[in-house]
Amino acid sequence: MAMASSVAQTPIARKISTNAVIRTVFANGSISRADIAKLTGLSKQTISDVVRDLEDDGWLKPVGQTDGRPGRNAITYEINARAGLAVSIDLGSTKIAAAICDLLGNVVAETKVSTDPRGGMHLVNQFSDLIVELAFAAGTTADKLRLVVLGSPGVLDPATGHINVAPSIPGIDAINLRQVFSDRMAIPVIVENDVNLAAQGERWRGHGVETSNFAFVALGTGVGMGIIANGTLLRGARGAAGEIAYLPIGGDAFDPGGFTLGTFESAVGSVAMLRRYVGFGGRNASTVADLFAAFNAGETSAAAAIEETARLVAVAIAAIGAALDPELVITGGSIGSRPELVNAIRGFLPRCTPYPPRIEISRFGNRAALMGGMGIAVERMHDDLFGVKLREV
């Protein structure tokens, strides 16, 4: 159906027209004004006005000309991806990963540094310095950036973005990180749980693209889960949905000590795996990487440690399945990305649940949260700048 248009459009009509043009260019790439008019149903005059304004403002750029058609060759346009830049930061207990992406989600600069162990405001200073350096590497300046998305361990208040519980990051719960960081950079800051970001990364460009119901389970030094239910991130009443560290699996659920790390994390985290390995008589591994190397070398103690860990994780996934019924569970983290463990989990699952979900290893490795931050940043930029919801493009 053709959209009504006129030379002098009202502000609302112009926004609708701009929205339609942007959607069409995003969906088709390099395209002429005549083809935009055909696809949108807008008049040629309206298309000319909107494209001219978008080009003048720097959002569209001419990239070539049509050929192989009768008459004059027409100029083709595409999105000027560099017109909108945002930052994604993944805060870990020992490392900070950061990247600048453009309007199309292309990475234009990326880095990784050691986390300032002092935490608190020292991290805000570190983030600010890191962004300035990244912006320089991207050929721009920090004041040209439109948004920061920050992923952090811990339980976040969904309303305020305040991090209430983050034992691995000292002092981070003592400040209003979102407000302080936003004031420092003078741009909007979104703070999100890091595993939730990983789930968003998979939903954006990973295994979760084709399903509306899946869970991302991170297994490493700590454990956590991000849940996409019916296409939406599930947060819970206190923002603690997915805190599977506290599942009553693998230990005494009534031991008060379990409230520190969590009963399940105490049973399947990297420290627990190494302790289990030693308990089975292993002597050749001081790190999880060593343990998997020992497994691949045929060491029975390593095999026993991995098998028992996989059994406990399978029980947890069975419990998750009973509550959420995900079509897919994506595993990540330093342990969860190991095929040796995941293959064992796949073997146990049909033995402890009648509805075993499909299990896939994250395709992003340790960049899943960073990818999720970029996905959120791109979607927010498109929505703020053009009123375009990417999921509808």
Q: Does one domain contain both 162 and 271?
A: no
Query: Tell me, what CATH number does 276's domain have?
Result: 3.30.420.40
Q: Does one domain contain both 120 and 251?
A: no
Unique residue bearing structure tokens 């930052």: 87
When mean pLDDT is compared across 3-7, 171-175, 280-284, the lowest value belongs to 3-7
| Predicted confidence band of residue 391 (pLDDT cuts 50, 70, 90) | low
Mean per-residue pLDDT over the chain, rounded:
92
pLDDT at 4: 43
Tell me which long-range contacts 175-183 makes (C-beta under 8 A, separation of at least 24).
175/120, 175/121, 175/124, 177/123, 177/124, 177/150, 177/152, 178/150, 180/121, 180/124, 181/124, 181/127, 181/128, 181/148, 181/150, 182/148
Q: Does one domain contain both 343 and 265?
A: yes
Domain count, the chain: 3
Tokens of 288: 């999880």
119 has a pLDDT exceeding 60: yes
| Predicted confidence band of residue 168 (pLDDT cuts 50, 70, 90) | confident
Residues 6+ apart with CB under 8 A from 8: none
Structure-derived torsion over alpha carbons of residues 267, 270, 272, 277, reported in degrees to the nearest 10 = 130
| Predicted confidence band of residue 3 (pLDDT cuts 50, 70, 90) | very low
7 has a pLDDT exceeding 80: no
Mean pLDDT of 83-90: 97
Residues 6+ apart with CB under 8 A from 50: 14, 17, 18, 21, 42
Residue 71 lies in a domain: yes
pLDDT at 9: 74
Residue 6 lies in a domain: no
Q: Does one domain contain both 138 and 30?
A: no
Rg, C-alpha atoms of the chain:
24
pLDDT at 259: 83
pLDDT at 15: 85
Amino acid residing at 302: A
- Print the domain residue range for 279: 208-362
pLDDT at 1: 37
What is the pairing mode between strands 148-152 and 86-91? parallel
Residue 5 lies in a domain: no
For the whole model, what pTM was predicted?
Answer: 0.90
Residues 6+ apart with CB under 8 A from 370: 88, 89, 90, 97, 98, 99, 110, 151, 197, 201, 364
pLDDT tens digits, one per residue of 12-21:
888 889 989 9
The secondary structure of 75-105 as a DSSP string is EEEEE-GGGS-EEEEEE-SSEEEEEEE-TT-
68 has a pLDDT exceeding 60: no
Domain boundary among 60, 79, 98: 79
Let me know: does 76 contact 65? Beta carbons within 8 Å.
yes
365 has a pLDDT exceeding 50: yes
Q: Percent of the chain at pLDDT above 70?
A: 95
Mean pLDDT of 110-116: 97
Say whether 280 sits in a helix, a strand or coil: coil
Mean pLDDT of 244-252: 95
pLDDT tens digits, one per residue of 44-53:
999 999 999 9
pLDDT at 390: 53
- What CA–CA distances, in Å, run from 271 to 195, 264, 266? 20, 12, 8
Q: Does one domain contain both 234 and 308?
A: yes
5 has a pLDDT exceeding 90: no
pLDDT tens digits, one per residue of 198-224:
999 999 999 999 999 999 999 999 999
Give the C-alpha separation, 121 to 127, whole Å: 10
- What CA–CA distances, in Å, run from 23 to 117, 209, 368? 44, 20, 27
Residue 70 lies in a domain: yes
pLDDT at 72: 63
Let me know: does 55 contact 62? Beta carbons within 8 Å.
yes
